Amino acid sequence: MELLFREDPYLATTRARVVSAATGGLRLDRTIFYPEGGGQPGDSGRLLLPDGTALEIVDTQKGEGPDEVIHILAEGSSLPEPGTEVGLELDWERRHRHMRVHTSLHLLCSLIDGEVTGGQIGDGKGRLDFNLAQSPDKVWLEEELNRLVKADHTVQPRWIDEAELAARQELVRTMSVKPPSGTGRVRLLEIEGVDLQPCGGTHVRSTGEIGRLEVGKIENKGRQNRRINLRLA
């Protein structure tokens, strides 16, 4: 399956062909739908049949294979035949909020000097857990985040060999989410001059597109664990 969101997360519509369809989900030859993973929710949207009927895609999940994506249709949808040419349409506003929040968590990561032990992206908000003894100052953190947003740093993916990554373990910040491996190369996400780490998610093109950020609660989740909440203002 061709994962179009990897090279172009701004593709909101495309054409695809049905490979298989079952009540458990739909497989296509290519997709713009991001499957839940790395703390980012699966995409939702619509699948358009040749006769104009629109089927709701309520969620997207990873399949068993490395690049397999399962599109989950609303209950009771009539299933298209394999080989059918369909149109795909994302719930773009929702996905774009995921992209903005996801990119903001990379900024947060660059400002906090502690291992990331978990994280979650929601609609308009997100959080990271850090292995950290002391909470950072909230006012300072919000100012620094918005300084990075305003500076409008370029955000882009690039790929390196697994062997090169193995030799540069300092790039791996998130111990709870291992970078996808087994295909010989690993996708890195670079925010120019700010952050570089393996990541398979979807991001905005430049940090200015995130818009103003607010730091929510900073929670103590154990002696060495600080949970930092962010939201789009």
Q: Which residues bind Zn ion (CB under 5 A)?
A: 189, 199, 201
Q: Residue 202 Cβ, how far from Zn ion at the closest point, in Å?
A: 8
- Report d(CA 207, CA 147) in Å as an integer: 10
Q: Residue 210 Cβ, how far from Zn ion at the closest point, in Å?
A: 12
**Tokens 């995921």 sit on residue:** 98
Q: Residue 92 Cβ, how far from Zn ion at the closest point, in Å?
A: 19
Shorter beta-carbon distance to Zn ion: residue 196 or 199: 199
Give the orientation angle of helix 138-150 with respect to helix 92-111, to 10 degrees: 120
Shorter beta-carbon distance to Zn ion: residue 37 or 63: 37
Shorter beta-carbon distance to Zn ion: residue 49 or 111: 111
Q: Residue 116 Cβ, how far from Zn ion at the closest point, in Å?
A: 11
**For the stretch 18-49, what's the b/e string if a residue is b when 16 or more beta carbons lie within 10 angstroms of its beta carbon?**
beebeeebbbbeebbbbbeebbbbbbbbbbbb
* C-alpha distances in Å from residue 186, one per residue of 60, 120, 122: 22, 22, 25
Measured at CB, which residue is nearest to Zn ion?
199
Q: Cβ-count burial of 158 within 10 angstroms (0-12 exposed, 13-18 middle, 19+ buried)?
A: exposed
Shorter beta-carbon distance to Zn ion: residue 28 or 199: 199
Shorter beta-carbon distance to Zn ion: residue 80 or 201: 201
- Report d(CA 3, CA 5) in Å as an integer: 6
Q: Residue 121 Cβ, how far from Zn ion at the closest point, in Å?
A: 9
